[in-house]
Amino acid sequence: MAQPNHPKVYDGDGDQLMARELSDLADRVVLVPGTAPARNPEAKPRIRIMWGNHLLEDVLAGRYRSIVCGVNAQDNSRGIIAQLASLLPTSQWDEPSITQNAAQFSSGPDKVKVLKYDLDVVEVLAVLRPPSKPNLTLADLSVAFGIVSEMIDRRPGRLPSASVSFLDARANALVDHNREQPSFESILRTMYEAGYTGDVYPPTSMWRVAPISVFARYPFPQSLDVMRGGGF
């Protein structure tokens, strides 16, 4: 059997076994290289996309000082903020108090807000949609991440930071101008253009996008736009 022209990924027969069994795996992504590293680092970091990783596990492992997610004034029992509060033994917050606090701010000015919840191990920067809107919009997300970016710039101790993707949300569903769930790329663009360069965790439903290829960082390589424009 011809030997591959790259180092082995796994010990023993792992490479052959994984190649043979890939078609039987339900959850998988095809990760392709982005732009090659430049001799001089980029002035602005790119967003890292954490394919195949669990945000809750990484937060509990102490990998982040702040995370960004949604919060609402009705029910956060399924939200990541309530899950974190229940898993962190030193947190002074629970689902009822998280929701009650959000309700106090939801009756104010009709604009998107970013609420701070100190869970001891990590600070949650929670996006609260305007009270008049049934859903969060990309425009709201842009404003929210502008606030988040400024909060991080003013207090670098909030780094490193990570965010949920806001896709597949229930109570805090995100919609575009067509009232449909936006693409992951449009969300990354919104975050990045607002100044956010932390890590972003795709929803687990996107771990099944293969054979579509994905990149590990945003902005994506210019080659993608070339292909979309009909080039090669």
Rounded-to-integer distance, Cα 93 and Cα 102, Å: 12
pLDDT recorded at residue 108: 74
Asked if the structure places residue 19 within a domain, the reply is no
Burial class for 113, CB neighbours closer than 10 Å (0-12, 13-18, 19+): buried
pLDDT above 80: residue 22: no
Angle ∠(90,91,93) on CA atoms, nearest 5? 155
- Whether omega before 219 lies within 30 degrees of 0, making that bond cis, reads yes
pLDDT value at position 1? 52
Total count of domains within the chain: 1
Structural domain span for residue 112: 44-219
Least confidently predicted of 30-44, 48-62, 153-167: 30-44
Buried b (16+ CB within 10 A) or exposed e, 126-141: bbbbbeeeeebbbebb
Phi, psi (degrees; rounded to nearest 5) at 161: -125, 150
CA distance 22 to 209: 13
Predicted local confidence at residue 110, as pLDDT: 87
Residue 228 lies in a domain: no
Q: Is pLDDT at 51 greater than 90 in this prediction?
A: yes
230 located within any domain: no
Write a three-state SS string for 89-106: CCCCCCHHHHHHHHHHHH
pLDDT band at 170 (very low <50, low <70, confident <90, very high): confident
Q: How many CB atoms lie within 10 A of CB 7?
A: 6
Q: How buried is 64 (Cβ within 10 angstroms: 0-12 exposed, 13-18 middle, 19+ buried)?
A: buried
Domain contains 31: no
CATH number at residue 203: 3.40.220.10
The pTM of the full predicted model, rounded to 2 decimals, is 0.91
- The answer, yes or no, to whether residue 4 has pLDDT greater than 70, is no
What kind and span of H or E run contains 20? helix 14-21
